[in-house]
Amino acid sequence: MKQSIFLTLFLLLTSLAAAQTPARPAAMPTPAAPQLGARNYILMDFNSNRVLVERDSDVRSDIASMTKLMTSYVVFKELESGNAALEDIVPVSETAWRTGGSRMFIEPGMEVTLEEMLLGVIIQSGNDACVALAEYLAGTEAAFAEVMNFYASELGMENTHFTNATGWPDENHYSTARDVALLSQAIIRDFPQYYPWFSQKEFTFNSIRQHNRNNLLWRDPAVDGLKTGHTEAAGYCLASSAKDEGMRLISVVMGSASEQSRASESQSLLSYGFRFFETVQLYRAGDRLDTAPVWKGESDDVELGIADDLFVTIPRGRYDDLEAGVHLPDTLTAPIAEGQELGRVSITLDEAIVADLPLVALAEVPEAGFFGRTWDSLMLWGGGLFDDE
């Protein structure tokens, strides 16, 4: 049997939560989400992972040039590992040069740096640059696609499979709105040093200036990425992200009817999220949230906290209605390792759970010596301290 300690004031245990939460307006009803003409879409909060709007977000589909998000992610990982550098000269093969579709206009014999190739992929959506990078980093585009699939699995993209680096149509090349949102989140989270490239509006290479196809970069100053896509099978697609007053949202629209509609539909999702929801950070990783007694240990108690920062996304004006519960076993016994899961902490709103995560030990509690263990064993055997009355 476990005891549940329900603490309505738990949200005020840290000064952080109070300091970051100014007085808020009275709560308003949250209207229904916009209904879009796009085939599949999703709106997700970057920090809390809460999905605010979705339609057929797990249906597999052609994602066209949004594929280049994973192409870029793989290159970023190679840079991170030291296997490549931005200054590297990337050879341009005949195959890369002859690749069809959108191009950055590289040619065999050119001295093109890896950084220039990346900008050609991200801003100009260059298929030729994708192939050149794939061949440089993996030998062949097919081998590079295997690396793409490895990272897709690592990121939890359960309904994704890549066969190429460009997004060229293939029956075995597909993803979903949810998976593209997860990939977008990973790029923003893992590579903040490279993410600003996704907001760059134009890039000139080989005396040819091309504009970023993400029209939202011109329409909304809060938007700072990510990538468009279009094929006949995929329709018009757009993965976008925007940040407003510390809240970041990610939207993915797939199968839209036109270049204009994919931008307008993405804007509708982002506007809805920012207007009617807010994301607040309740606790930081490592903050002490509670203390619990420990038996048979060198210390009589253990400090409890969480391993990761906790954000929640809620309807605007509802912060004061949040409640938190700590759930611990009746008895905690040493030894306890630092980071060991000892219980759960749940955050609820109107009795619905908005967050539930492990409560972990913030420091180890070694086992006590023989006499300490013996004394605590006698106390536990007596049982008097644990009567509910």
Structure tokens at 47: 């920090």
Whether the pLDDT of residue 163 is over 80: the answer is yes
Query: What is the residue-averaged pLDDT of the chain?
Result: 88
- Region 342-365: what's the mean pLDDT? 90
Do 218 and 103 reside in the same domain of the chain? yes
Active site residue 227: no
Assess if residue 296 is contained within a domain: yes
Q: Of 222, 256, 290, which residue constitutes the final position of a domain?
A: 256
Assess if residue 200 is contained within a domain: yes
> Dihedral, CA atoms, 141, 146, 147, 148, nearest 10 degrees?
80
CATH code for position 77: 3.40.710.10
- Owning domain of residue 343: 2-21+282-382
Whether the pLDDT of residue 346 is over 60: the answer is yes
State the number of CA atoms in the 13 A half-sphere of 388 facing the CB.
5
Do 136 and 52 reside in the same domain of the chain? yes
Q: Could you give the CA distance from residue 226 to residue 248 in angstroms, rounded to a whole number?
A: 13
Whether the pLDDT of residue 51 is over 80: the answer is yes
Do 63 and 210 reside in the same domain of the chain? yes
Do 44 and 144 reside in the same domain of the chain? yes
Do 246 and 336 reside in the same domain of the chain? no
Catalytic position from the list 61, 65, 72, 184: 65
Do 244 and 160 reside in the same domain of the chain? yes
Q: Could you give the CA distance from residue 42 to residue 60 in angstroms, rounded to a whole number?
A: 13
Whether the pLDDT of residue 267 is over 50: the answer is yes
Active site residue 65: yes
Assess if residue 267 is contained within a domain: no
Q: Which residues lie below 8 Å from residue 323, measured CB to CB, with a gap of 6+?
A: 6, 8, 10, 11, 347, 348, 349
The pLDDT assigned to 368 comes to: 67
Active site residue 125: yes
Assess if residue 52 is contained within a domain: yes
Q: Could you give the CA distance from residue 203 to residue 207 in angstroms, rounded to a whole number?
A: 10
Q: Of 218, 239, 256, which residue constitutes the final position of a domain?
A: 256
Whether the pLDDT of residue 319 is over 80: the answer is yes
The pLDDT assigned to 327 comes to: 86
Do 237 and 300 reside in the same domain of the chain? no
Do 170 and 315 reside in the same domain of the chain? no
The pLDDT assigned to 296 comes to: 74
Q: Which range among 141-145, 306-310, 345-349, 368-372 shows the weakest confidence by mean pLDDT?
A: 368-372
The pLDDT assigned to 79 comes to: 98
Split into its structural domains, the chain has a count of 2
Do 8 and 45 reside in the same domain of the chain? no
Backbone angles phi, psi at 320, to 5 degrees: -65, -10
Determine if residue 246 is left, alpha or beta; phi over 0 gives left, psi from -120 to 50 gives alpha, anything else beta: left
Assess if residue 120 is contained within a domain: yes
Assess if residue 87 is contained within a domain: yes
The pLDDT assigned to 10 comes to: 44
More confidently predicted of 274 and 329: 274
Catalytic position from the list 102, 125, 251, 266: 125
- In the three-class reduction of DSSP (H, G, I as helix; E, B as strand; rest coil), residue 205 is classed as strand
What confidence tens digit (pLDDT) does each residue in 202-218 have? 999 989 999 999 999 99
Do 350 and 228 reside in the same domain of the chain? no
Whether the pLDDT of residue 383 is over 60: the answer is no
Whether the pLDDT of residue 260 is over 80: the answer is yes
CATH code for position 16: 2.60.410.10
Q: Computed from CA positions of residues 289, 291, 297, 300, in that sequence, does the dihedral angle turn out positive or negative?
A: positive
Do 251 and 210 reside in the same domain of the chain? yes
Do 171 and 291 reside in the same domain of the chain? no
Buried b (16+ CB within 10 A) or exposed e, 263-298: bbbbbbbbbbbbebbbbbbbbeeebebbebebbbbe
Catalytic position from the list 48, 61, 68, 184: 68
* Percent with pLDDT over 90 in the chain: 71
Assess if residue 297 is contained within a domain: yes
Residue 106 near residue 206 (C-beta atoms within 8 A): yes
The pLDDT assigned to 300 comes to: 82
Whether the pLDDT of residue 6 is over 70: the answer is no
Distances (CA, A) of 280 to 269, 294, 347: 20, 32, 12
Q: List beta partners, residue 229.
A: 237
Distances (CA, A) of 120 to 197, 210, 297, 373: 10, 9, 60, 66
Distances (CA, A) of 170 to 5, 162, 166, 175, 242: 54, 9, 11, 12, 31
